[in-house]
Amino acid sequence: MPIFEYSCNSCGKEFETLVRGSSPAPECPACHGSKLHKKLSAFAAITGSTVTRTELPGECQSCGHPDGPGACQFN
């Protein structure tokens, strides 16, 4: 389930959202507009057994979302 980054053509808000195969088309969380531009973004993969749970990003208080704590889709 990839996370895609979008920019809203109506209000300019940038956001990211989790996209599942059966998900409806995303909409802007600020203005609920549907005219979005998918941004080019890098991806990350966690592989191997050397990664422990403590090395992963924490819940919404430290996820690193550019809009600050609690702004991600996983709260």
Would you say the C-alpha torsion 19, 22, 26, 32 has a positive or negative sign? Answer: negative
pLDDT of residue 19: 79
Tokens of 56: 């992963």
Q: What size, in residues, is the chain?
A: 75
Return averaged pLDDT per consecutive 10 residues of the chain, 75 residues in all. 86 89 87 91 64 55 61 60
For 4-18, the DSSP string reads: EEEEETTT--EEEEE
Give dist(CA 75, CA 16) in Å, integer.
Answer: 13
Residues 6+ apart with CB under 8 A from 57: 63, 64
